[in-house]
Chains A and B, each alone.
Chain A
Amino acid sequence: MADTKIAAYICRGCGLGERLSTGQLAKIAEKEGKAAIVREHDFLCSEAGVQLIRDDIEKQGATHVAIAACSRRAKTEAFHFPTVAVSRANLREGVIWCQPDTDAAREATQEMADDYVRMACDELKRMKVPAGNPDAARLRRLLVVGGGVSGMTAALEASKAGYAVTIVEKSGALGGWAAKLWKRTPAHEPFREPADTGVAALVAAVEADPNITVRLASVIARTSGAPGRFSVDIAAESGATATEAFGAIVQATGFTPYDAAKLPELGFGRSPNVVDQAGLEALARAAAAKGGPIRRPSDGGEVKTVVFVQCAGQRDDSGRHLPYCSGHCCATSIKQAMYFKDANPAVDTVVLYTDLRVPGNGEDFYRSGQSKGVVFSKGQVSAVEPSGDACTVRFRDLILDEDTAIENADLVVLATGQVPNAGVDIDQVPQDEPGQWRPDSRSVLNLAYRQGKDLPLLRHGFSDSHFICFPYETRRTGIYTAGPVRRPMDIAQAVEDATGAALKAIQAIENAAAGRAAHPRSGDLSFPIVRLEGCTQCKRCTVECPFGAIDEDEKRYPVFNESRCRRCGTCMGACPVRVIAFENYSVDTVGAQLKAVEIPDEFAEKPRILVLACENDAYPALDMAGMQRRVYSAFVRVIPVRCLGSVNTIWISDALNRGYDGVMLMGCKHGDDYQCHFVKGSELANYRMSKIDDTLKQMALETERVASYEVAITDIERLPRLIDEYAAKIGEIGLSPLKGFG
């Protein structure tokens, strides 16, 4: 690395100058860190301090900059030097703020700072400035799969923002389920009356929009590529197939009502007078077309009593039906009861519910239903027994705690739930072998990706996304889900959802054009580079990538699609031969840091504990612990990692071989209610670490020397405690016997 010129800056501000010997740090940067330029400054993030660095880059030719000051999460704008590689030694939050200001602690505090300066310099030597993404491509065109309310809304929103949109709709008409409703639940003040669905206006707006192309009676036969350059085969029912290119995709494929035929105990299929909510909408539309009231289907008789059975085949804990709540059905039943009450207040309408759930302004609508005389009874329906033209609805009254019944119901409406149209479950249906790829008629997207043809699912068949932190993101970069395919929802929520997904899709298009990463490392220009000559075709990277970014060629070598990559480094953590690296984050950059730490010999009685902390949650939590001046052991040396999934086990064995006494891994919660920003990273790390015990035994070390923790960003109080407890445990089991051999 002949062209490397390291400049190191030691800040004396924020109390660093008083607490630490910055002169000693400067000497370390120069002697051990091999920094060509070393400067101390009283206020490095000030204009003058930043100018100093800028001048060194421009005039002195510094290519690598080590900043020994505050956390890498602080002063990011001041210390933003995009043309050079930058490393940060966290002396403020990570040293002086988390160590006591006492004479007794001074030595250990200085040692911590010394090590962080060594680490920053050594990391820097292995870093390069990202040279730019070779996969960058810009196509300002959006594909929307599904022409319902969600799909049409996404298309209109993207069009308004200046992007061309193609809607592919499977059926022969736009509108989806909403077009089959007579009216919708109200979305505006005063939330009292059923409202016009607005679908006709939406369809008209789509058809009038010159930016939007609609392809009806068409499906997706194949999707390949990456954000900015998706190539999609659109197959029409007629047999014609067109290949088009898109920058991003919104999947708004909606839902199918749960099959009421699975509920014979509730009378469905045994009498035409038992319908599901969709069936009642059809009756209401037919009645409205004729201009009369809704009649009894069996004989056209007058409807005097209607019973609505909530949670029919939903919120079921027997395992036979849907376990979840579909959210919209309570308000839908209230709306449908109003169809009757508004036409004739003398009609008895009873809603039998276990919990009435009307999110948002549905509460006003519920009150309106009560005012109109819709009767609400808390009851669990056990059976609907048709006999002739009437039905008996048997239920357990949950307030009076007794079995009772409503006789002579003319109509029974079952509130069945929403089943997402998410295509195939890729965990059940594996992708075809390379070269053998065929479209699957059950699939929505027919992705030619290595991991499978559709988006990964989370639970109950809904596509995987983080409900709170990143709801629109799926596990396929550039493809966003909107509407009931993502979670059960009503029209108002679907409109909001579609708007959000359209914006994310636009963001993906622009990111792809600039070669930048999407959430959560938004703007990151680095990308994984593989040294194929060392690859053993083990396929771990292609299998484990949480985002399906890596395909395989016919020889089973990985094919990286950089624009699909989220830069978590899970592939790097997985690779057993360590041929995957980022320019600024690699097995070497972390390896160099952990090797830079000075390990005192066993007689010094100063253990060293390596902490590999997730930069998304654990590292900020440690910073915040520092901000709150929470003290933790001075024996730890913390290295932030992009995701615990990027932790390569070589780091652990290197650390133990060098004489570290313990390794703490801090990542996000995994499992169904994961908090991992890369969805699967912490889970994979946990799995890998479950195998580390064998390695430890081979090294004749105690299994306690490696410990994994699930940490949330809010664990500000807990983290210092965990560290201290672990340090105490190391004290109990004793120092590592491997010191001095590394």
Chain B
Amino acid sequence: MPGDAGMGDMADLNERALAKYRNDFLREVEERVDEGHWVKMCMQCGVCAGSCPFGPHWEHSPPKIFLMIRAGKREAVLTSDSMWMCTSCYNCVVRCPRKLPITTIMHGLATYAQRLGLAPKVQPTRDFSIIFWENFTRTGRANEMRLMLRLWFKEGFAAGVKKALSMRDLGLAMLRTKRMSPLEILGGHGVKDVKGFQAMIRKAKEIEDRRRGLSG
């Protein structure tokens, strides 16, 4: 899960993965990435790349990523920011003649890169994902007020104020129509059993780590 492991743990995980899979990155992906076993089925037709609304903005289109995985280009794949560009529109999944769950694979790769500490450091989607995860795992509910403030102020106080001012009309309108409460800033609402919820998240991570061979 993003942001959940310390840097030392990450480097360690990466070392262990390298040792375990040596040059067989395809097998690593098949075992450790969501739906990774589909990667070998790509036939490089390029329909996904042509269907992607973000197509021109990716450094590596899905068929390239899949090819790089098959060619063992581990570092290039895991440090790529391409899978972070996926907006989950599912165009590619609908059109893939080989029925690859491309969106899931992309998110799986992003998550795996993040776990190993290889994900690109300055990447807005990644930043948002981390902020969002930390925000909602705190209480079990997304706290929109705090989420927005953290997002706006992540590049410093001045930038945050400027962003807040630019959004003020929308903010006031939301307040007026009771779509947002300023009181949320104090801690906000949560699920009834926050401790139980957090235990569930921990358990889920433990199970998934075990399944993916990531636990020690």
Contacts and interface: CB of A to CB of B under 8 A. Distances in A.
Contact of B68 (A370, A376, A400): A400
A367 B43 CA distance: 9
B101 interface: no
Given A375-B26, A399-B63, A399-B64, A367 B41 contact: yes
A373 interface: yes
Contacts of A400: 64, 67-68, 71
B98 A399 contact: no
A371 B67 contact: no
B27 to A, nearest CB: 9
A366 B68 CA distance: 20
B41 A399 contact: no
A367 B98 contact: yes
A326 to B, nearest CB: 20
Contacts of B203: none
A402 to B, nearest CB: 10
Nearest to B60: A400
Interface in B34-48: 40-41, 43-44
**Interface hub of A378, A397, A399 (most chain B Cβ within 10 A):** A399
A400 B43 CA distance: 15
A392 interface: no
B26 A399 contact: no
B40 A377 contact: no
B71 A376 contact: no
Interface string A376-405: 111000000000000000000101100010
Contacts of A377: 67, 70-71
Contacts of A375: 26, 40, 70
Interface in B60-103: 63-64, 67-68, 70-71, 98
Interface residues of A, number: 14
A654 to B, nearest CB: 60
A404 B68 CA distance: 12
Q: Name the interface size band of chain B.
A: 10 to 19
Say what secondary structure dominates the interface of chain A.
Answer: mixed
B48 to A, nearest CB: 13
Interface string A357-378: 0000000001100110101111
A397 B98 CA distance: 22
16 contacts: A366-B43, A367-B41, A367-B98, A370-B40, A370-B41, A371-B40, A371-B41, A373-B26, A376-B44, A377-B67, A378-B44, A397-B67, A399-B63, A400-B68, A400-B71, A404-B71
Nearest to B97: A363
A266 B141 CA distance: 62
Contacts of B67: 377-378, 397, 399-400
Interface string B174-201: 0000000000000000000000000000
A356 interface: yes
B111 to A, nearest CB: 24
A356 B42 CA distance: 12
Contacts of A366: 43
Contacts of A397: 67, 71
A356 to B, nearest CB: 7
Contacts of A399: 44, 63-64, 67
Contacts of B41: 367, 370-371
Nearest to B49: A399
Nearest to B23: A348
Contacts of B43: 356, 366, 370, 376
Contacts of A356: 43
Nearest to A350: B70
Contacts of B68: 400
A371 B98 CA distance: 12
A571 B67 CA distance: 60
B158 to A, nearest CB: 42
Given A375-B26, A378-B44, A378-B67, 9 more contacts: A366-B43, A370-B43, A375-B40, A376-B44, A399-B63, A399-B67, A400-B67, A400-B71, A404-B71
